[in-house]
């Protein structure tokens, strides 16, 4: 009865989402879009509830927009073989990234970062690089699984990652990383602040505020504040220096390498427990040249294998040499697949192959997934944010 006699349509669009999920991204976007009349207010509260609680994406995204998802919820969906099989393939690819890459890397990263004061800078440097792959494969793996489940049921919830580590600038990285969050921040924080339609100093301020919000959403510690502001700084420098960089015409692989290094450095603050730990990790990484001198000394005293083991913390806590060898093998394999699928969707490539080739790929992935189930902790990194 309340909805029948509410004083205005947009009020109906506000009360129900707040009562269900408070200020979630989807409910906020729904309220804002109704208020600004970008979409018509949904008069049936059950569709609003279903939109907010759509189970494949409710935990960590991709963040949905009412204008895209609600019309799909109102459509009758019948079983579709192509959607079902493509959804299962996406789910399997996400599971592969989670179990075979992210969880295996997590063992090494957790030990090295958890004992930073006791390990050499070389081990911390390697763990920092590997964490970039861990967080990407963990979160994009979750996203692919969620997208796959939705696709299996006939729903299109969009793409959430698009080869972010092949970006040639930090600005491009954010157009490819967690796309649903990036566009949400753009539409509901950056543009309402004035976006790029204001004076240059204000644009820089808008960028800093937007990325500060992103940092605070991930966590209320100084580490996340610095992580957000650091990306805001990258964006401002990239914008200010764009004419300079365009004149230099650097090769693409150098731009990709520089972008990866900048993003990886920022991940230190994202991964470390606090500012003190972040400072220690950065100091340790700067000591890597000195560690190479230590390596020569250790090699003379203990031999090559033992020197490598000590320098990179390859002890029983991380599974020793076999564990790191598996990581070293699987990351290039993953990079080759990423490069091959940058300009052509992976599902399209797989579906174009002959039946025997496809099933060979499926068998390899299933085997690798089963092989790595025992090392998985089952937790997704982004569930803590």
Within a domain: 293:
yes
Last residue of a domain, one of 248, 283, 318: 283
**Are residues 277 and 172 part of one domain?**
yes
Within a domain: 169:
yes
**Are residues 278 and 174 part of one domain?**
yes
Task: Indicate if the pLDDT at residue 136 is higher than 60.
Answer: yes
**Are residues 255 and 173 part of one domain?**
yes
**Are residues 198 and 242 part of one domain?**
yes
pLDDT for 249-270, tens place per residue? 889 999 999 999 999 999 999 9
Lowest mean pLDDT, pick from 220-229, 242-251, 358-367: 242-251
Within a domain: 74:
no
The proportion of the chain whose per-residue pLDDT surpasses 70, expressed as a percent, equals 91
Give me the mean pLDDT over the 84-89 stretch: 93
**Are residues 183 and 147 part of one domain?**
no
Structural domain count of the chain: 3
Last residue of a domain, one of 283, 310, 342: 283
- Could you give the CA distance from residue 99 to residue 137 in angstroms, rounded to a whole number? 9
Within a domain: 70:
no
Task: Indicate if the pLDDT at residue 66 is higher than 80.
Answer: yes
Residue-by-residue DSSP string for 85-112: HHHHHHHHHHHHIIIIIIHHHHHHHHHH
pLDDT for 124-134, tens place per residue? 999 999 999 99
**Are residues 374 and 228 part of one domain?**
no
Chain mean position to CA 207: 20
Q: What is the pLDDT of residue 319?
A: 84
**Are residues 93 and 141 part of one domain?**
yes
Q: Which residue has the tokens 């995204």?
A: 61
Average pLDDT taken over every residue of the chain: 86
How far CA 156 is from CA of 70, 148, 212, 326, 366, in Å, comes to 11, 9, 30, 35, 25
Give me the mean pLDDT over the 55-77 stretch: 85
Within a domain: 61:
no
pLDDT for 301-335, tens place per residue? 888 889 999 999 999 888 888 888 888 888 988 99
Task: Indicate if the pLDDT at residue 27 is higher than 90.
Answer: no
**Are residues 308 and 269 part of one domain?**
no
Give me the mean pLDDT over the 345-371 stretch: 86
Query: Is 218 annotated in the active site?
Result: yes
Give me the mean pLDDT over the 3-21 stretch: 39
Q: Which residue has the tokens 């967690």?
A: 178
**Are residues 177 and 273 part of one domain?**
yes
**Are residues 97 and 203 part of one domain?**
no
HEC profile for 62-76?
CCCCHHHHHHHHCCC
Within a domain: 275:
yes
Question: Of 78, 178, 218, 343, which is the active-site residue?
Answer: 218
283, 119 Cβ separation under 8 angstroms:
no
Q: What is the pLDDT of residue 365?
A: 82
**Are residues 312 and 267 part of one domain?**
no
Give me the mean pLDDT over the 239-252 stretch: 82
**Are residues 171 and 269 part of one domain?**
yes
Its domain, for residue 300, covers 81-161+287-384
Task: Indicate if the pLDDT at residue 370 is higher than 60.
Answer: yes
- Could you give the CA distance from residue 305 to residue 125 in angstroms, rounded to a whole number? 19
Within a domain: 234:
yes
């Amino acid at each position: 009865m309340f909805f029948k006699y509410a004083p205005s349509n947009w009020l109906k669009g506000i009360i129900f989402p707040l009562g269900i999920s408070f200020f979630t991204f989807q409910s906020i976007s729904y309220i804002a879009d109704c208020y600004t009349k970008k979409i018509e207010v949904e008069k049936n509260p059950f569709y609003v509830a279903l939109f907010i609680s759509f189970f494949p994406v409710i935990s960590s995204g991709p963040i949905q927009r009412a204008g895209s998802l609600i019309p799909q919820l109102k459509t009758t969906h019948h079983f579709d073989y192509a959607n079902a099989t493509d959804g299962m393939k996406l789910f399997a690819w996400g599971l592969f990234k989670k179990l075979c890459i992210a969880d295996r890397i997590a063992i090494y990263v957790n030990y090295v970062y958890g004992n930073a004061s006791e390990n050499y800078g070389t081990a911390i440097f390697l763990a920092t690089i590997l964490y970039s792959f861990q967080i990407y494969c963990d979160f994009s793996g979750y996203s692919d699984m969620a997208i796959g489940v939705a696709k299996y049921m006939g729903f299109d919830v969009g793409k959430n990652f698009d080869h972010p580590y092949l970006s040639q600038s930090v600005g491009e990285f954010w157009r490819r990383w967690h796309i649903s969050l990036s566009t949400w921040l753009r539409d509901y924080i950056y543009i309402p602040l004035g976006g790029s339609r204001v004076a240059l100093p204000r644009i820089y301020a808008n960028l800093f505020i937007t990325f500060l919000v992103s940092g605070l959403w991930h966590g209320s510690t100084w580490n996340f504040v610095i992580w957000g502001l650091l990306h805001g700084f990258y964006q401002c420098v990239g914008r200010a220096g764009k004419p300079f960089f365009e004149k230099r015409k650097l090769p693409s692989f150098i731009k990709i390498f520089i972008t990866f290094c900048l993003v990886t450095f920022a991940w230190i603050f994202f991964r470390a427990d606090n500012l003190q730990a972040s400072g220690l990790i950065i100091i340790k990484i700067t000591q890597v040249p000195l560690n190479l001198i230590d390596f020569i000394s250790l090699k003379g005293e203990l031999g090559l294998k033992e020197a490598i083991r000590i320098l990179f913390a390859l002890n029983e806590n991380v599974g020793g040499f076999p564990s790191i060898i598996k990581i070293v093998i699987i990351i290039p394999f993953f990079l080759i697949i990423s490069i091959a699928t940058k300009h052509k969707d992976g599902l399209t490539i797989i579906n174009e192959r002959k039946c025997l080739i496809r099933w060979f790929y499926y068998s390899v992935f299933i085997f690798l997934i089963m092989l790595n189930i025992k090392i998985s902790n089952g937790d997704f990194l982004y569930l803590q944010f």
